């Protein structure tokens, strides 16, 4: 486990999250993820800390509305989403918003979110 720092494009929203990126991450083909090209991992809410920008965030929900997609009102980048996992509150982290992480070094599993 390592703590990573991330931010939106304009820097209004900053966060840190503790996670293990040696484990596989997810590439989802749902309508939203595929349009935005995200790589995701899920962490317990206790492993996530919003450092700045709560007032810069707005929400988007679609489909079954299980995930509250939070994104910056200024630049439009979604750093994370909020939801309930099997073990309680969880955060879906957009790994492309993390500092110092090369996406080409990650093991990626494809998830068929389009048919969920």
| Whole-structure pTM value | 0.87
For residue 106, give the DSSP letter.
S
Q: Count of H helices and E strands in the chain?
A: 1, 10
Domain residue limits, the chain: 2-21+39-99
Q: What percent helix, strand, coil does the chain show, rounded to 5?
A: 20, 45, 35
Distance CA 95, CA 22 (A): 13
Q: What number does CATH give the domain 2-21+39-99?
A: 2.170.150.70
| Residue 83: both structure tokens together | 């939801």
Q: What is the pLDDT of residues 45-79, one digit of tens each?
A: 999 999 999 999 988 777 666 778 888 999 999 99
Residues paired with residue 48 on neighbouring β-strands, in sequence order: 17
Q: What is the tens place of the pLDDT at every residue in 22-36?
A: 999 888 877 777 777
């Amino acid at each position: 486990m390592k703590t990573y720092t991330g931010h939106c494009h304009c820097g209004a929203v900053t966060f840190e999250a503790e996670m293990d990126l040696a484990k596989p991450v997810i590439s989802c083909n749902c309508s939203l993820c595929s349009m935005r090209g995200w790589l995701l991992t899920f962490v317990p809410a206790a492993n996530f800390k919003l450092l700045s920008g709560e007032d810069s965030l707005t929400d988007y929900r679609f489909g079954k509305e299980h995930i509250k997609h939070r994104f910056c009102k200024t630049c439009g980048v979604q750093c994370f989403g909020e939801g309930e996992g099997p073990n309680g509150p969880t955060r879906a982290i957009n790994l492309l918003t993390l500092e110092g992480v090369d996406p080409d070094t990650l093991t990626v599993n494809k998830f068929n979110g389009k048919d969920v």
